[in-house]
């Protein structure tokens, strides 16, 4: 019987070593230690033993039971630890994996410059007004002192939509709409898209942007025009920027000027940005023509005013050193992401 017990112990210990799963361990326990297990079966035969042998074999059986139990418990612990290790390994975060970036939108450079421009003029007391992109001939030309057969129409190649309907070639139409609606004092700017049938190249686009400005009040002079536009140029390009007023012609202003600023890239020496001249033209302006005032029901004897039209695209390309105006309209993400 002792030998049988020894044999069971050896067998059970060997079997325990090859156990792989928790279930196998439980089954093994039942096989050797359960009610119908092999050890129990031996113990049932204890009755046939002599009185001296019984306690000896009994003690031995207890030891065998204890050893098998310990071996199975230890094996179970190892199995559980392994399971935890495997689970941890499977759930581990790979912190070297590249993250998912959240794409953030940003303002188009034209809008950034426009926002700055609006801030500057609002701080000088200007209101922002809006006007239609589809205009009538009257607002775009006629009321601006450009009658049907006037050669000045050749200055702006126009997209006509019908006999009297067109895509506005200039935001100046907003001057007329404003003066017909409001009484002086008037101080407005009108930003917007304008359209001309121009060939596309690095500096021309059939769609571009202007910001119209208009001031009408008693006693407005060329000095007000100069002071306002100089202030604007200094705020946009910096206080060291030089501002030049050149005589020019527009049918709706008299006198008329064009305004250049010293090139911020080369400081006036001449470079690629200013095409070697040292100057960059940024706007047209002038004293509102008396015909235009009276057409809008404002007495030119009592009131005077100045107006200006800023080229927003030029302002933007020179500020960001953009070499081709087409980049502003192509909406290439690789370009826009740089701002």
List 16, 178, 205, 253, residue binding ligand DAH (CB under 6 A): 253
**Residue 260 interacting with ligand DAH (CB under 6 A):** no
Rounded distance between C-alpha atoms, residue 267 and residue 241, angstroms: 8
List 16, 136, 140, 172, residue binding ligand DAH (CB under 6 A): 172
Q: What is the DSSP letter of 152?
A: G
**How many angstroms separate the Cα of 307 from the Cα of each of 62, 77, 188, 193, 217?**
111, 89, 10, 18, 12
Taking Cα atoms as reference points, which of 234, 232, 207 lies closest to residue 308?
232
* Shortest Å distance, C-beta 226 to ligand DAH: 13
Rounded distance between C-alpha atoms, residue 288 and residue 304, angstroms: 7
**Residue 192 interacting with ligand DAH (CB under 6 A):** no
| Closest to ligand DAH by CB, 8 or 292 | 292
**Residue 284 interacting with ligand DAH (CB under 6 A):** yes
> H or E stretch including 320?
helix 312-320
**How many angstroms separate the Cα of 329 from the Cα of each of 99, 196, 272, 317, 322?**
32, 15, 22, 12, 12
Q: Which stretch binds ligand DAH (CB under 6 A): 83-91, 92-100, 180-188, 282-290?
A: 282-290
Size of the site for ligand DAH (CB under 6 A): 11
Q: Which stretch binds ligand DAH (CB under 6 A): 17-25, 71-79, 215-223, 305-313?
A: 305-313
* Shortest Å distance, C-beta 315 to ligand DAH: 14
**Residue 251 interacting with ligand DAH (CB under 6 A):** no
**Residue 308 interacting with ligand DAH (CB under 6 A):** yes
* Shortest Å distance, C-beta 172 to ligand DAH: 4
**Residue 170 interacting with ligand DAH (CB under 6 A):** yes
**Residue 140 interacting with ligand DAH (CB under 6 A):** no
**Residue 32 interacting with ligand DAH (CB under 6 A):** no
Q: Which stretch binds ligand DAH (CB under 6 A): 60-68, 69-77, 273-281, 307-315?
A: 307-315
**Residue 285 interacting with ligand DAH (CB under 6 A):** yes
Rounded distance between C-alpha atoms, residue 329 and residue 226, angstroms: 32
Taking Cα atoms as reference points, which of 129, 197, 203, 130 lies closest to residue 169?
197
* Shortest Å distance, C-beta 250 to ligand DAH: 4
* Shortest Å distance, C-beta 267 to ligand DAH: 27
Other Cβ atoms closer than 10 A to 57: 20
**Residue 286 interacting with ligand DAH (CB under 6 A):** yes
* CB of 228 closer than 8 Å to CB of 124: yes
Q: Which stretch binds ligand DAH (CB under 6 A): 16-24, 45-53, 197-205, 284-292?
A: 284-292
| Closest to ligand DAH by CB, 121 or 250 | 250
Contacts of range 129-133, beta carbons closer than 8 Å, 24 or more positions apart? 129/174, 129/177, 129/178, 129/188, 129/189, 129/190, 130/174, 130/190, 130/192, 131/168, 131/171, 131/173, 131/174, 131/177, 131/190, 131/192, 132/168, 133/167, 133/168, 133/192, 133/193, 133/195
**Residue 145 interacting with ligand DAH (CB under 6 A):** no
* CB of 111 closer than 8 Å to CB of 316: no
Q: Which residues make up the interface to ligand DAH (CB under 6 A)?
A: 170, 172, 212, 250, 253, 284-286, 307-309
């Amino acid at each position: 019987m002792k030998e049988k017990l020894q044999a069971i112990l050896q067998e059970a210990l060997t079997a325990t070593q090859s156990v792989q799963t928790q279930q196998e361990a439980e089954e093994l326990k039942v096989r050797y230690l359960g009610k119908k297990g092999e050890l129990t079966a031996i113990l049932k035969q204890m009755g046939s033993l002599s009185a001296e042998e019984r306690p000896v074999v009994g003690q031995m059986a207890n030891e065998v039971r204890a050893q098998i139990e310990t071996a199975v418990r230890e094996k179970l612990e190892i199995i559980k630890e392994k399971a935890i290790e495997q689970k941890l390994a499977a759930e581990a975060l790979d912190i070297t994996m590249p993250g998912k970036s959240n794409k953030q939108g940003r303002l188009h450079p034209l809008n950034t410059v426009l926002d700055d421009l609006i801030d500057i003029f609002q701080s000088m007391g200007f209101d922002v007004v809006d006007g239609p992109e589809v205009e009538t001939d009257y607002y775009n030309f006629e009321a601006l002192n450009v009658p049907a057969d006037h050669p000045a129409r050749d200055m702006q190649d126009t997209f006509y939509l019908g006999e009297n309907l067109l895509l506005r070639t200039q935001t100046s139409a907003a001057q007329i709409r404003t003066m017909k609606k409001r009484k002086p004092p008037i101080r407005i700017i009108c930003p917007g898209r304008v359209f001309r049938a121009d060939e596309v190249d690095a500096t021309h686009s059939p769609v571009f942007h202007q910001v119209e400005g208009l001031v009408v009040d008693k006693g407005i002079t060329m000095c007000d025009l100069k002071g306002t536009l100089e202030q604007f140029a200094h705020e946009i390009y910096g206080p060291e920027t030089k501002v030049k007023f050149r005589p020019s012609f527009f049918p709706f202003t008299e006198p008329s000027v064009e305004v250049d600023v010293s090139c911020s890239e080369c400081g006036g020496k001449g470079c690629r940005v200013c095409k070697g001249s040292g100057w960059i033209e940024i706007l047209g302006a002038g004293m509102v023509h008396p015909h235009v005032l009276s057409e809008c029901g404002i007495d030119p004897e009592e009131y005077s005013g100045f107006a200006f039209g800023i080229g927003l695209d030029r302002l933007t390309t020179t500020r960001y050193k953009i070499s081709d105006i087409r980049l502003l309209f192509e909406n290439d993400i690789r370009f826009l992401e740089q701002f």
